[in-house]
Structure 1
C-alpha cells in the first residue's frame, strides 16, 4: 500500500459503510426491526423538535415577562419620581403655608400694635414722662393694660421722635421709662407669670436695689439711648437724601441734567492761542468764574466769549450740557442752527 510517493488511498474508493441496522440476528424479523428502529428515530426527532418548540416558546415567554418587568420597573421609577416630586411639592406648599402664616402673623402683630397705640397713645406718653417710682407704680396700677410689649415699643418710638426733634432731655426721660417697662417684662418671663401681676414686685426691688442690679439697669438705659440716637440719625439722613433727590428731580432741565451739577462742573481753566505782535502765544484763562458770572448776570455775549475760548469740541460739549440742564435756553433760531450744524458735521463724518 505504501509507495515512495506516500500513502495510497485507493483501497478506500469502494468501501461500504453500513449502520447497525444491517447487523441483525437470524432469530429477529429484520423488517419489523427496521420499522421499529425507524419509528423510534422519528419519535426522537419529533420529541427533539417538540423540545425545540417548547424552548422557543419558553424563550418568547421569558422575553415577554422580561419586557413586562422592565415596563413595570419603569412605571415604578416614574411613580417614585412622581412621589418625590409630590413630596417636594408638599414640602414647598408647607413652607409656603408657613411663610404665609408667618407673614399673616406679622401683619396681625403690626395691626395690633397700631391699634393699641392709637387707642392708648396718650396714656403711654404720660407714663413715659413720669419721673418718680411711686408715680409710675400707681399709674400702672390704675392702667394695668399698659404693661405689655406694645407699650415698650411705643416708648422707644417716642424716644426716636424726641431725638429727631432735638428734645434730648425728653428722649432720655422716656428712654428711662422704656427700660422700666422692659425690666418688668423680663421679670415676668423669668417668673413665667403675666407681667400685669409682677410689676409691683419690680418697683419693690428697684427701690432697694443693690449696686449690681442698679448698674445693670443703668447699663441697659445707656445702650438704649445710644441705639435711639443711631436710629434717629439714620432716619434724618434718609429723609435728607429723599428731600435732596426730590429737589434734584424738580431742578432737572429739558435734557434730564441737573443745572447745579452742570454749573459746578464747568471747566476751571482753559489753554487757548492768541496772536500778538505776529506771534502765536498760549494763554491760560480762568473760565469757570467767567461762565458762571455770565449765567448769574444772564449775559449771553459774555457766555459766548467764554465758550469761544474753549476747544471747539469741548465748547460744544459744555454748551449742550448747559442747554440740557436749562442753564441756557437758546433762541429757537439758534437751536435750529446748532442742530443743522451738528447734522452737517455728522454727514461729513
Structure 2
C-alpha cells in the first residue's frame, strides 16, 4: 500500500461516515434494528425484576424464620415457668387428678416447643449457609452509603402542644406498628443494630413510648416473658435517645455508637442498663395493675347502675345495711324470755 510519494489511502475511500450512525445506518434495516433493541431491552428488564423478586423473597423468608424462632423461645420460657410453678404446687399440696392432668399437658407443651425450637434453629443455620452461597447480584452489589449530608445543628422548633404530641404519636404508631413490634422481638445486639440501620425512622421517642405500651398490654394479658423481652428493647431505645440528648445530635446519627459501646461495655455500664430495665418492668407491672383495678371499678359501677331501683337505691347496698340474722334471733329470744 505504500508508495514512493507516501501512504496510499485509497483502500479506505469507500468507508461511509454518518452523523447518525448511533441511531441509524444506511446499510442496516432500521425497523429490524429497533425491534431487536426493544426485545433485548425487555429481556434484560424482566431478568433484573426476576432477580430482585427472588432476593426479596429470600430476605422475607429469613425475617419470618427469625421472628418464628424468637416467638418460639419466648413461648418456651413462659411454658417452662408454668411447669415449674405446677411442680412446686404439687410438692407443697396434696395430689390432685386435675392438677396432674394439667402438669402432663404442660410437660407435653414444653417437649413440643423444644422440638420446634431445634427445628427453627436448624432452618436458620441452613438459611445462613444458603445466604453465604448466594451469587452476587449486580443490581444490589453497590449500595448508596448516603444520599445527603446531615448537619447536626439544633433546629429552631417551637414547643409542641400536648394535643399535637398525642396526634403525632398516634399517626406514627398506626403507620409503623408492624416494624415496632418486630424490633421489640429482637434478641441480639447485631440484629437490633441492623434493623435500625434498615429502618432509621424508628429511632425516635414515639417508638420508645409505643414499646412501653406494648409491655403494659402483655402484662395485662399475663404474658410476662413477652413483656420482659419488649421492655429490654424499650430500654435500648431509651438509652439511644439519652445518648443523642447528651451529644446534642440526631438519634438516627448515633445509635451505632450505642451498640458499639454496649457490646464492649464494662460491668458498671451493664449494671446500669440492667437497673433501668428492672425499674421499667416494675413500672409496667404497677401500671398494668392500676389499669386492671380501674377496669374492675368501671365494671362494678356499670353493674351497680343496672341494679338501681326506684329512688336510686341499690338493692345490694340496702340488703347489706340490714341487721344481721343472729342479731334478730337474739332480739326475739330476749322478747320471749321477758314474756
* TM-score using structure 2 length: 0.50
Equivalences for 1:1-349 in 2 at 5 Å?
Answer: 105-268=161-324, 269-270=327-328, 271-272=331-332, 281-282=337-338
Separation (CA, whole Å) in 1 of partners of 2:314 and 2:213: 37
Deviations 1:169-214 (A, max 9, x none): 1111000000000000111111111110111111111111100100
Gaps of 5+ in 2: 1-157
How far apart in 2 are the matches of 1:272 and 1:204? Answer: 84
Across the aligned residues of Structure 1 and Structure 2, the Cα RMSD in angstroms comes to 1.9
Q: How far apart, in 1, do the equivalents of 2:169 and 2:224 lie?
A: 25
Deviation track 1:265-291 (CA, whole Å, cap 9, x = no partner) reads 32212213798xxxx6249xxxxxxxx
C-alpha contact 1:272 1:282 (8 A) present in aligned 2: no
Distance of 2:179 and 2:220 partners within structure 1 = 22
Separation in structure 1 between the aligned mates of residue 256 and residue 282 of structure 2, nearest angstrom: 28
Structure showing greater radius of gyration is: 1
Higher RCO (CA < 8 A, seq sep 6+): 2
Q: CA deviation at 1:146?
A: 0.2
Structure 1 runs (4+) deviating above 4 angstroms are: none
Aligned length: 178
Query: CA separation in 2, counterparts of 1:238 and 1:199?
Result: 38
Give the Cα–Cα distance (whole angstroms) in 2 for the partners of residues 208 and 174 of structure 1: 22
Q: Distance in 2 between matches of 1:140 and 1:134?
A: 10
Counterpart-to-counterpart distance in 1, 2:302 and 2:204? 40
Q: Could you report, residue by residue, the CA deviation over 1:23-70 in whole angstroms, capped at 9, with x for unpaired residues? A: xxxxxxxxxxxxxxxxxxxxxxxxxxxxxxxxxxxxxxxxxxxxxxxx
Give the deviation of 1:222 after TM superposition: 0.4
SS in 1 for 2:161: helix
- State the alpha-carbon separation in 2 of the partners of residues 282 and 253 from structure 1: 40
Structure (1 or 2) with the greater strand fraction: 1
| Residues 176 and 242 (structure 1), Cα distance of their counterparts in 2 relative to 1, 3 Å cut | same
Question: Equivalents in 2 of 1:123, 1:164: separation in Å?
Answer: 22
